[in-house]
Amino acid sequence: MKPTLTRLVLALFALTTLAAVVLAQQQSRAVLGKIDFAVLLEAAPGMPATTAEAGKRAYGADIKAQDQPVALDSFYDPFNKRVAAARDVIKEAVANRKQNQEALRQRSIAQTEANPIVSRMGGVDKISEMSEEEAKQAAAKAVGGYQESLAGGPGKTTSGGMQALTERMLNDPAYQERIVKMTKQEQEAEIRKYMGNAQAPAPPAGETAAERRAQQATKETTAVLAKQKELSGIMQRMSEIDGEFAKKDQAIMATPGGHDQIAKEIGARVEKLPVVEMGESGPQPDPVRLQALQREQATRERTRATWELQQRAALYAQRKARYKEVAAAYAAWLKQNLGPINNQTAQLLDDATVEIAVSCEEELIGASEKLAQYTTEATRYAAQHEWWYQKKMSEPAARAASK
């Protein structure tokens, strides 16, 4: 609906229109809070302390017996099974999301369309296509039609009092709000007062029961929206953590003295080696000096990989701590919220909040997976350097070229 629509139309269904754009499922409450996210995050395998430990994790006890990191998957299998079990807890809620979103959308539309003024204006879809002036005219016509239905048929609302009611509804924002807060019976009584008197009577004195109910409904709806905002903030924190630590990890790997720099320096020195005749192999760089340089490169890269593991281990610990803070914030939020709701619109929004909570639990599971993925890739990378170091250092000493 256009933001410039007359205050009358907004007053009639602002809250239900808001509910209409919040699509979510409504049957997922039972699964929330069943997963201990602090325990799941703690279960994620940590960073290996050394390249030797990384090599054992990836290649097994005898690193020289394997050419591929075949042991890495089995090392992470126990954790992966815990993640799968956590996903099973909310699997049905996630699988039914699309279906439940559509059901909730239909509920919100039905709630909005049930308003007698909205229905006489052609419904939400029709109103959304109107200009402000068209909406104002349609609202006036709808109010008149509603008056006629209460009076017993067409042509029975021509009194000056009814014209005064229509004009007041269109031009008095405070009165619009008060009419909307009344029950149907109170609205009918108010209209009948106008029908019997050409002069606009004063509105009922004091706060009506309907107005008190409306205030409670507004309070509940506002509270639900605040809950949604708080939960969205928790989810935003997770996204910020991921972006922040990705940059920090990139900074570690980009620190001068990296593997590319080492390879470039060794490569330049290899090019300067004297060339010797190697029989059938032809002229080659001096094998003794070449082996020495290759071992130097393997040693330097292993040392660099060890430093990277140390830096990444610290980063991993910080990231896990931040995730745990988010998990604790979610647990506290869940404990304080999702209580009983009495108002229809607030209930609709609260059902939407449940779906946001399911998404939050999905992301917390994903956070534990990200921790494991981080250590998996770091382990694989460090293990490759350990494997290369062990291979080079265990090779037979090169023989000098025969003269």
Q: CB neighbours (10 Å) of residue 226?
A: 11
Pure H helices in 156-208: 160-171, 173-181, 184-195
Q: What is the DSSP string of 310-321?
A: HHHHHHHHHHHH
**How many CA atoms, within 13 angstroms, populate the side-chain half-sphere of residue 86?**
25
Q: Please tell me the predicted confidence (pLDDT) of residue 265.
A: 97
- Of the two residues 15 and 232, the one the predictor is more confident about is 232
Task: Compute the average pLDDT of residues 225-252.
Answer: 93
Q: Are 379 and 58 in contact (CB under 8 A)?
A: yes
Q: Are 246 and 370 in contact (CB under 8 A)?
A: no
Closest CA to 29 of 104, 87, 92, 105: 92
DSSP annotation of 200 reads P
User: What are the structure tokens assigned to 41, written together?
Assistant: 């995050």
Q: CB neighbours (10 Å) of residue 338?
A: 18
Most confident stretch, 12-16, 145-149, 251-255: 251-255
- Computed on alpha carbons and rounded to an integer, the radius of gyration of the chain in Å comes to 35
Task: Compute the average pLDDT of residues 76-80.
Answer: 97
User: What are the structure tokens assigned to 346, written together?
Assistant: 């607030």
Longest dimension (CA), the chain: 126
Beta strands 275-277; 283-285: pairing state: antiparallel
Q: Please tell me the predicted confidence (pLDDT) of residue 10.
A: 39
Pure H helices in 60-131: 72-95, 97-113, 116-120, 124-128
Most confident stretch, 195-209, 270-284, 337-351: 270-284
Task: Compute the average pLDDT of residues 141-152.
Answer: 59
Burial track 182-203 (b if 16+ CB lie within 10 A, e otherwise) = beeebbbebbebbbeeeebeeb
Q: Please tell me the predicted confidence (pLDDT) of residue 113.
A: 57
What's the N-to-C CA distance of the chain in angstroms? 92
- The three-class DSSP label of residue 277 is strand
* pLDDT higher than threshold 50 for residue 21: no
Q: Please tell me the predicted confidence (pLDDT) of residue 7.
A: 42
- Of the two residues 176 and 156, the one the predictor is more confident about is 176
* pLDDT higher than threshold 90 for residue 121: no
Q: Are 356 and 280 in contact (CB under 8 A)?
A: no
The model's pLDDT over 166-196, given as tens digits with 9 standing for 90+, comes to: 667 667 777 777 776 777 667 767 776 766 6
Q: Are 353 and 67 in contact (CB under 8 A)?
A: no
Burial class (CB in 10 A: 0-12, 13-18, 19+), 67: exposed
**Cα 113 from Cα 109, distance rounded (Å):** 6
Task: Compute the average pLDDT of residues 355-377.
Answer: 94
- pLDDT tier, 324 (very low <50, low <70, confident <90, very high otherwise): very high
Out of 4-18, 34-48, 139-153, 366-380, pick the least confident: 4-18
* Arithmetic mean of pLDDT over the chain: 79
* pLDDT higher than threshold 60 for residue 16: no
* pLDDT higher than threshold 80 for residue 318: yes
Q: Please tell me the predicted confidence (pLDDT) of residue 2.
A: 46
Q: CB neighbours (10 Å) of residue 62?
A: 10
Q: CB neighbours (10 Å) of residue 255?
A: 12
Q: Which long-range contacts (CB under 8 A, 24 or more apart) does 122-126 make?
A: 124/1, 124/13, 124/17, 124/20
- Of the two residues 98 and 79, the one the predictor is more confident about is 79
SS3 content of the chain, % helix, strand, coil (to 5): 75, 0, 25
pTM for the predicted model, two decimal places: 0.69
Burial class (CB in 10 A: 0-12, 13-18, 19+), 301: buried
Ranges of each domain in the chain: 21-65+228-394
Task: Compute the average pLDDT of residues 258-262.
Answer: 96
Q: Please tell me the predicted confidence (pLDDT) of residue 195.
A: 62
Q: Please tell me the predicted confidence (pLDDT) of residue 120.
A: 67
Q: What are the C-alpha distances in Å from 315 to residues 58, 149, 243, 310?
A: 21, 70, 13, 9
